[in-house]
């Protein structure tokens, strides 16, 4: 198991709204409760300063999938260090 990166903040963008999340649980709860049936972007800022967008769809039953590939999307990837 990889150690958790507690300093990570992910930006949720929907239309003209931006919200910052530093906890996987809070981000997941917001997506499931407020954005079912929506397409959102999640912005990860790398340590180099580069911002990487991920385009995610929240299905009507609350599952997260990559908007373009349809593959399941796991939020845990943001809070794990790579070794």
Q: How far apart are alpha carbons 52 and 38 in whole angstroms?
A: 20
Please list the alpha-helical segments (H only) found in 1-83. Answer: 24-34
Tell me what the mean pLDDT of segment 33-42 comes to: 96
Mean residue pLDDT of the chain comes to: 88
Contacts 24+ apart (CB under 8 A), 21-25: 24/75, 24/76, 24/78, 24/79
The pLDDT of residue 5 is above 60: no
**What SS3 state is found at 40?**
strand
Tell me what the mean pLDDT of segment 55-67 comes to: 96
C-beta of residue 66 within 8 angstroms of C-beta of residue 55: yes
Tell me what the mean pLDDT of segment 19-29 comes to: 93
Model confidence band, residue 2 (pLDDT cutoffs 50, 70, 90): very low
Q: How far apart are alpha carbons 38 and 58 in whole angstroms?
A: 6
Model pTM greater than 0.75? yes
């Amino acid at each position: 198991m990889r150690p958790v990166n507690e300093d990570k903040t992910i930006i949720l963008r929907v239309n003209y709204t931006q919200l910052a999340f530093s906890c996987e649980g809070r981000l997941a709860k917001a997506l499931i409760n407020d954005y079912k049936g929506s397409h959102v972007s999640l912005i990860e800022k790398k340590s180099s300063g580069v911002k990487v967008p991920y385009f995610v769809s929240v299905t009507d039953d609350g599952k997260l999938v990559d908007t373009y590939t349809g593959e399941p999307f796991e939020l845990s990837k943001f809070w794990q260090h790579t070794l």
